[in-house]
């Protein structure tokens, strides 16, 4: 998981390419022969089977017809579309500003019953204060040169936090200690955020674990921040895009990593002591 944040999307694309290659070989065709049957160049075939170019729906249908495997076209098209959907670039989601991106996840929040969240760089949005969220979204706006609708985006995120208190959702949060020691907005904003985190940690539907900074953690090293929604979806926020994972085998990988990280986290009074220490360091 740590090798490449977009590795899941690329692996899904490669799986489609590998299956197309198998169909070609099973049909006893060379790359050039398949290209001739499909009416394109051998270079096109090469790019597809090496996952350098994602095949279009039409190309997949032509490929399957050339290999006498028309019955597999629908499944391969679905898999190819899923691979494309796994990695959604920020510039597409945020084309009209940040508010739309915030609104897009509201249905997911409403239907999820158990959230498992690992944060390695900022406090999770569901427990952010208004000032902290404003600082985060202003930084994103400036980095990506987006439309300035931060105020509306912040309002949407704050409104979405009602799921913390409506009694139908459970939150299991794991936060790296380094997240407590640095963040956006300056010392006053950070101190307020940490005091809010202390209050949230006492809610009956919230389990907060802090991963202490220490020289050895075995195999449970820090990874990219991710959210697990029930057992149906994982979302990973990246610098360049938003990775959505829905394949059960890959969700299981993130569940395994979450479990490993959870084992070395401290909770209760020990977690609150680390938060209080971080607040003290800001004063």
Alpha carbons 85 and 73: distance in angstroms, whole number: 18
Determine the pLDDT at residue 98.
84
CA distance 63 to 34: 7
Host H or E run for residue 208 = strand 206-211
Question: What is the DSSP track for 34-103?
Answer: HHHHHTS-HHHHHHHHTTSSPPPHHHHHHHHHHTT-GGGHHHHHHHHHHHHHHEEEHHHHTTT-HHHHHH
Model pLDDT, residue 40: 95
Residue 263, CA atoms < 13 Å, CB-side half-sphere = 10
pLDDT score for 246:
79
Bridge partners of 172, per DSSP, are 116, 207
Q: Which domains does the chain have, with CATH numbers?
A: 7-86 (1.10.260.40), 94-282 (3.30.870.10)
What is the spatial distance between Cα 204 and Cα 103, in angstroms, rounded to a whole number?
27
Which pTM does this prediction carry?
0.74
One pLDDT digit (tens) per residue for the chain, 283 residues: 333 344 566 777 888 999 999 999 999 999 999 999 999 999 999 999 998 888 999 999 999 999 999 999 988 988 888 777 666 665 666 667 788 878 888 889 999 999 999 999 999 999 999 999 999 999 988 887 888 899 999 999 999 999 999 889 999 999 999 999 988 999 999 999 999 999 999 999 999 999 998 888 877 888 899 999 999 899 987 766 678 887 787 889 999 999 999 999 999 999 999 999 999 999 8
20 token code pair: 């197309």
């Amino acid at each position: 998981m740590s090798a490449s944040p977009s590795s899941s999307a690329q692996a899904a694309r490669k799986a489609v390419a590998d299956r197309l290659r198998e169909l070609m070989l099973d049909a006893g065709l060379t790359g050039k022969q398949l290209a001739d049957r499909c009416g394109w160049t051998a270079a096109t075939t090469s790019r597809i089977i090496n996952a350098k170019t994602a095949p279009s729906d039409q190309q997949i249908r032509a490929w399957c017809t050339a290999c006498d495997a028309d019955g597999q076209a629908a499944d391969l098209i679905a898999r190819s579309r899923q691979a494309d959907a796994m990695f959604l670039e920020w510039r597409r989601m945020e084309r009209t500003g940040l508010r739309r991106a915030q609104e897009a996840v509201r249905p997911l929040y409403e239907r999820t019953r158990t959230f498992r969240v690992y944060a390695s760089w900022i406090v999770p949005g569901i427990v952010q204060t208004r000032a902290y969220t404003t600082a985060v979204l202003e930084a994103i706006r400036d980095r990506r040169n987006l439309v300035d609708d931060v105020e509306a985006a912040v309002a949407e995120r704050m409104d979405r936090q009602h799921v913390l208190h409506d009694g139908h959702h459970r939150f299991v949060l794991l936060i790296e200690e380094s997240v407590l020691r640095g963040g956006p907005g300056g010392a006053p904003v950070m101190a307020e955020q940490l005091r809010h985190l202390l209050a949230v940690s006492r809610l009956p539907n919230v389990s907060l674990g802090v991963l202490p900074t220490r020289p050895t953690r075995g195999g449970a090293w820090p990874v990219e921040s991710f959210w697990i929604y029930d057992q149906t979806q994982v979302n990973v926020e990246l610098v360049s895009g938003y990775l959505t994972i829905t394949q059960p085998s890959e969700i299981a990988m993130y569940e395994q990593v979450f479990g490993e990280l959870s084992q070395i986290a401290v909770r209760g009074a020990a977690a609150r002591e680390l938060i209080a220490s971080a607040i003290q360091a800001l004063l």
